[in-house]
Amino acid sequence: MEKILTIAIQGIKGSYHHVAVEKYFGREADFVECATFKEVPQAIEDGVADFGVMAIENSIAGSLLQNHKLLGLYGQKIIGEVYVQINHCLLANKGVRIEDLTEVESHPMAILQCENFFQQYPEIRLLESNDTARSARMVATKKMKTTGAIASELCARLFGLEILGRNIQTMTNNYTRFFVVGHANEQIPKDADKASIRFVSKHESGSLARILSVFAMHGLNLTKIQSVAIMERPWEYAFYADVMFPSLPTFMSAMEVVSHQTEELEIQGIYKHNVD
């Protein structure tokens, strides 16, 4: 019998982190529910979780810069990625109609993304909470009859709620990208074609341009680059980049050249890209 994996997530079951776990690992998983993102790599380091799943960027809101920094705390590696389309649902207890609702609770970002839907229901007051899944769980646990929640379809399944409205967000192309994080000794997948790196360029004119030219010469496709301030070194910045590569030897050859063009270079993970 295969061991059931334990996955650390920020938030609780029913959150979009949980959705990402099901998409990557399947439904058979145990969870360590973390109050903060920092607790996710800590759970792996402490041995209470096999892997962690952590949001890294959203197609509307942009990158979660603090999570880039967390990846380097314990020398852990990115072993995979998951893209989840954020489809918000209006949830309520069984038998409750949308006409019965006087309040709907959710995370402020979810409320903002669904404002247009609720314009047709001006009598419903929108209340902010710290988590979509917690709002759904509260509605279910307290058997509330006049309060609903904006949350994932998964929450309806977990907490026994009915879906009064699906895909109620205004922007349909709303995706969040999640990193799957594991120990440094995890094997690189044989079909790996993507890598995430962190580097600090030399303080020389044209240093970043030279690094990017190395990527081009080796056929690496730069899919993302983000600068982040180095807190302990004022006015200095680290770059976080994602690159697609034609083969692992080609990527490693490029990194060898780049290592001579940078003050610091760290390969944060080599994995198979996933946009499904």
Domain 5-85+174-182 and domain 89-165, same fold? Reply is: yes
**Mean pLDDT taken over the chain:** 93
Give the separation between CA 225 and CA 63, rounded to whole angstroms: 10
pLDDT cut 90: percent of the chain above it: 81
Average pLDDT over residues 64-82: 88
Give the tens place of pLDDT for each residue, 187-224: 999 999 999 999 999 888 889 999 999 999 999 999 99
Catalytic residue list: 176, 178
**62 pLDDT tier (thresholds 50, 70, 90):** confident
Residue 240 confidence (pLDDT) above 70? yes
Residue 73 confidence (pLDDT) above 90? no
Q: What does the pLDDT read at residue 72?
A: 78
Give the separation between CA 248 and CA 267, rounded to whole angstroms: 13
**99 pLDDT tier (thresholds 50, 70, 90):** very high
3-state SS, residue 88: coil
**Between 205 and 97, where is the model more confident?**
97
**172 pLDDT tier (thresholds 50, 70, 90):** confident
Q: What's the chain look like in SS3?
A: CCCCEEEEEECCCCCHHHHHHHHHHCCCEEEEEECCCCHHHHHHHCCCCCEEEEEEEECCCEECHHHHHHCCCCCCEEEEEEEEECCCEEEECCCCCHHHCCEEEECHHHHHHCHHHHCCCCCCEEEECCCHHHHHHHHHHCCCCCEEEEECHHHHHHHCCEEEECCCCCCCCCEEEEEEEECCCCCCCCCCCEEEEEEEECCCCCHHHHHHHHHHHCCCEEEEEEEEECCCCCCCEEEEEEEECCCHHHHHHHHHHHHCCEEEEEEEEEECCCCC
How distant, in Å, are the alpha carbons of 52, 85, 194 from that of 17? 10, 12, 22
Domain with residues 5-85+174-182, CATH architecture: 3-Layer(aba) Sandwich (3.40)
Q: What does the pLDDT read at residue 276?
A: 64
The domain segmentation of the chain, as residue ranges, is 5-85+174-182, 89-165, 194-270
The CATH classification number of 89-165 equals: 3.40.190.10
Average pLDDT over residues 34-46: 95
pTM of the predicted model as reported, rounded to 2 decimal places: 0.91
Give the separation between CA 107 and CA 98, rounded to whole angstroms: 19
| Domain 194-270 fold | Alpha-Beta Plaits (3.30.70)
Residue 57 confidence (pLDDT) above 60? yes
Tokens of 162: 């009915």
Q: What does the pLDDT read at residue 68?
A: 83
Quickly tell me which residue has 């999640």 as its tokens: 178
Residue 1 confidence (pLDDT) above 60? no
Q: What does the pLDDT read at residue 64?
A: 86
Give the separation between CA 56 and CA 62, rounded to whole angstroms: 9
Q: What does the pLDDT read at residue 66?
A: 83
Average pLDDT over residues 67-78: 87
Residue 135 confidence (pLDDT) above 60? yes
Give the tens place of pLDDT for each residue, 11-29: 999 999 999 999 999 999 9
Residue 270 confidence (pLDDT) above 60? yes
